[in-house]
């Protein structure tokens, strides 16, 4: 890794064997540790990585195994709007979050390193953490999540030709994580901004799936998308039912649709966002859907 890491006080503590230094995770194939710039201005120079761990200058370098990379994109429910609760402070076992330079132990908010997000204070509990924890638990493989969602975005803003360039930025982000593992799937949760026109959405989602598979070099790359909230926050008589019915009816190879049945709102039924508990349940449903696509 050529990038320098700025170590902050809230980095995860290493295992007891590392005597509680800050931790930097090194790509599985790296021959050297990265050059690390400490918060006090001192630096730890790059050095050979002879084993899976190396402690130098109070920093524990840990070589990760090859990760299963999952790109997580969409709008606000993927970014996470559930209230930060006690569980949100926990780091997740065998789950790592891409921070732009490398991976760190994952904890909420998962969308904090997004290159297209709204202000940091709006990033809260979403489905990514519980998805990755469940997926890692069942597969026994470590998961690297690359989260690059943008609240309020329409599907048009994720397609080529948009001035926002959200799709290109997401692809750039997952490619930057490529030294750490192989892309296992894409999770997509978006539609609140487009829910009034389900008849227009199907072709756009098919196009988006095709572009992602082309850009990431895998024509059968699993893509899992989720229903939007079932309660009627739309002020339209039909509510979200037609949009969700359209999602369920899609037959795109190697994709799955995750139900939002029974999930609860963050605030009340005027709010399209899921509560923290419902976000976690939604994430587990994403995991179960992806596991069936393997």
CA-CA distance, 294 to 259, in Å (whole number)? 19
152-207 tens-digit pLDDT: 999 999 999 999 999 999 999 999 999 999 999 999 999 999 999 999 999 999 99
Check: CB of residue 189 under 8 Å from CB of residue 127: yes
* Residue 144 C-beta-side C-alpha neighbours within 13 Å: 28
Check pLDDT > 90 for residue 55.
yes
CA angle 277-143-154, nearest 5°? 60
| Angle CA 165–150–79, to nearest 5 | 145
Written as six digits, the tokens of 65 are 């195994």
Taking only the tens place, the pLDDT of each residue in 104-161 is: 999 999 999 999 999 999 999 999 999 999 999 999 999 999 999 999 999 999 999 9
Q: Token pair of 55, please?
A: 């402690």
Cα separation, 213 vs 107, in Å, equals: 28
User: What pLDDT is recorded for position 21?
Assistant: 56
Number of C-beta neighbours around residue 53 at 10 A: 16
């Amino acid at each position: 890794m050529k990038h320098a890491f700025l170590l902050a006080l809230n980095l995860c503590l290493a295992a007891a064997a590392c005597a509680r230094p800050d931790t930097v995770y090194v790509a599985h194939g790296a021959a050297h540790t990265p050059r690390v710039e400490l918060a006090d201005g001192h630096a730890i120079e790059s050095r050979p990585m002879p084993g899976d761990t190396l402690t130098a200058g109070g920093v524990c370098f840990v070589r990760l195994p090859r990760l299963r990379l999952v790109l997580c994109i969409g709008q606000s429910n993927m970014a996470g709007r559930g209230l930060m609760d006690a569980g949100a402070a926990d780091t997740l076992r065998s789950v790592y979050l891409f921070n732009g330079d490398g991976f760190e132990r994952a904890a909420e908010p998962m969308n904090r390193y997004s290159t297209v997000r709204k202000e940091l204070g709006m990033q809260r509990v979403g489905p990514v953490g519980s998805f990755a924890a469940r997926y890692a638990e069942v597969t026994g493989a470590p998961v690297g999540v690359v989260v690059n969602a943008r609240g309020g975005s329409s599907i048009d803003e994720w397609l080529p030709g948009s001035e926002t360039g959200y799709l290109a930025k997401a692809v750039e982000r997952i490619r930057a994580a490529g030294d750490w593992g192989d892309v296992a799937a894409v999770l997509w949760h978006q539609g609140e901004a487009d829910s009034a026109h389900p008849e227009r959405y199907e072709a756009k989602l098919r196009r988006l799936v095709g572009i992602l598979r082309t850009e990431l070099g895998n024509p059968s790359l699993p893509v899992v998308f989720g229903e939007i909230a079932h309660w009627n926050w739309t002020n339209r008589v039909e509510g979200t039912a037609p949009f969700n019915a359209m999602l369920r009816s899609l037959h795109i190879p190697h994709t799955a649709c995750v139900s939002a049945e029974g999930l609860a709102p963050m605030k009340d039924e005027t709010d399209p966002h899921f509560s923290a508990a419902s976000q976690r349940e939604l994430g587990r449903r994403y995991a179960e859907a992806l596991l069936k696509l393997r």
